[in-house]
Structures are given as C-alpha cells and as structure tokens.
Amino acid sequence: MSTEPVLDTAPAVCRSTVTHFDGTVSVREISSALADALIEADLCDLAGGGSIEISPALRSGAITLTHASTGPRDATSGEWVTAHRTNLLEPLHAPRLRPAQYRALWLVADSEKRTYGPKLRDGLVVAGLAAVPPAMTRRLFARGWFRIEHATENDKPVQRVVVSYAGRIAMTFHEHRTETAEGQWDARAWCSCRQWRTHVQADRVAVQRAARLHREERLKAVFGLHDGTRA
C-alpha cells in the first residue's frame, strides 16, 4: 500500500459568506476553482456595466463582491429601492508565502501564457523546463494557490495548472512589503518592489496612508481593476 498522500487538487480553501438581498446569510466552504469562477463571473458583469464592487482586504487577502440591484419595492407601489448582495470570500490559509513557495507560484504564473502551459504529471507540476517538487505541489494545492483549469492544446482537452486569485493575492503581498520611517522633520515610505517610494514633509500617518494606497493599487491590478473599473 502506498503511503503517498492522495493529491486532492480541489480542497475547500475559502469561506464564502453570502448576504442575500433579503438580508439572509449563507456560509459555505468552497474550492479555489469555484471562488475564481465567482470572481470571474463578477468581473464579466462589471465589464458589461454591472454594478459590482470588488474590495480586496489589505491584510487578510479577503475579497468582498458587492452587487447592487435597483427595482420596485413591490408589485403595487411606485417606490424604487436599491438592495445589495455581498459575497465575502475569506481564504482559510493566511496569504503568507515562503520565498520557495513564491518562486514556485511565479514559475507557474510565468509559463501560463505559453502555448503549452504547466501540467500536473506524476504528482508534480511541470512548467517548461522546470518542475515544482511533489511536496511543494501538494502544499500549494492544499493552500488553494494552485488550481486545475480545463483548456485545449492542439484541439485536445488538457488540464493545466494555474495560479488562483488567492495565489496571486499572496504573491502580491509578498512582492509589496512596505516600510515607513519618521524623522524629525519628515517621513518616508518605501516598498520591497523597489519601484515605489515616497518622502513627505509630513507625519507618519500621511506616508502610511500612501503606502496603503500603493498596496491597494497593486492588489486591484490582480483583478485588472483601476479605480474600481476594469481596464
């Protein structure tokens, strides 16, 4: 009998709390494939002019999808009301990556765009010339940062490995770690991405706000969002 643990490629990794238009609440734990499908559906709706807000949280990596719907209160009154339906998607695993985990996610994200994308083969992910070792592969699927996507290559159906939205959020947190420092007359903030820094003749609060904004912008870019709209 094999002692090798079974690779469950679609574990529940995310808690979805839906507050419906009538105020009732339902909670369930879902896979990253389903979480990504819900996010994608909302992004399509947004592109079609739907009233949807996607708010990623700066610490937990949670995402709130908010739908607004306007219509008559009931069949007889002429009164119109706007109701909201929200879906809070909270990762069950903190979006904190070790450097080796980040490199494995980066490798797969980078080769996703190629004609022959990353594949799961004999328990490891093969991406171009490189491979993610089996133990790391299992861990990244268990965290929900890798997921399987159905695609076609040479007119044949294949199962590709992709980095989920949760994985991309974790990568963004890893890439953009901001720090602030306050001198006697000014305050500074900078980011580990080395592409952003600020220096102001003001207090620490101002640079902290600027650093938060930088991280928020990078998080919104994960969804192709700029100022709440899709670019």
Residue 125 vs 207, nearer CB to Zn ion: 207
In the complex, minimum distance from the CB of residue 197 to Zn ion, in angstroms, rounded to a whole number: 9
* DSSP structural state of residue 214: H
The stretch among 6-14, 54-62, 168-176, 198-206 that binds Zn ion (CB under 5 A) is: 168-176
Residue 160 vs 176, nearer CB to Zn ion: 176
In the complex, minimum distance from the CB of residue 217 to Zn ion, in angstroms, rounded to a whole number: 9
Residue 52 vs 191, nearer CB to Zn ion: 191
Rounded to whole angstroms, the Cα distance separating 214 from 51 reads 25
Rounded to whole angstroms, the Cα distance separating 96 from 59 reads 10
Residue 146 vs 223, nearer CB to Zn ion: 223
The stretch among 11-19, 39-47, 138-146, 173-181 that binds Zn ion (CB under 5 A) is: 173-181
In the complex, minimum distance from the CB of residue 221 to Zn ion, in angstroms, rounded to a whole number: 11
In the complex, minimum distance from the CB of residue 202 to Zn ion, in angstroms, rounded to a whole number: 20
Task: Give the residue from 15, 165, 33, 24 showing the smallest Cα distance to 85.
Answer: 24
The stretch among 21-29, 62-70, 171-179, 203-211 that binds Zn ion (CB under 5 A) is: 171-179
Residue 139 vs 215, nearer CB to Zn ion: 215
CA max distance for the chain: 69
Q: What angle do CA 203, 205, 207 make, to 5 degrees?
A: 80
What's the Cα-to-Cα distance from 151 to each of 35, 66, 94, 129, rounded to whole Å?
Answer: 18, 29, 29, 20
Q: Compute CA 211 distance to the chain's CA centroid, rounded to the nearest angstrom.
A: 20
Q: What angle do CA 134, 139, 143 make, to 5 degrees?
A: 150
* Residue list 119-138, contact with Zn ion (CB under 5 A): none
The stretch among 38-46, 85-93, 113-121, 169-177 that binds Zn ion (CB under 5 A) is: 169-177
Distance, first Cα to last Cα, the chain: 52
Residue 114 vs 212, nearer CB to Zn ion: 212
| Cβ pair 133, 92 in contact under 8 A | no
Task: Give the residue from 171, 118, 120 showing the smallest Cα distance to 143.
Answer: 171
* Residue list 174-203, contact with Zn ion (CB under 5 A): 176, 191, 193, 196
In the complex, minimum distance from the CB of residue 189 to Zn ion, in angstroms, rounded to a whole number: 10
Which residues of this protein are in contact with Zn ion, per CB under 5 A? 176, 191, 193, 196
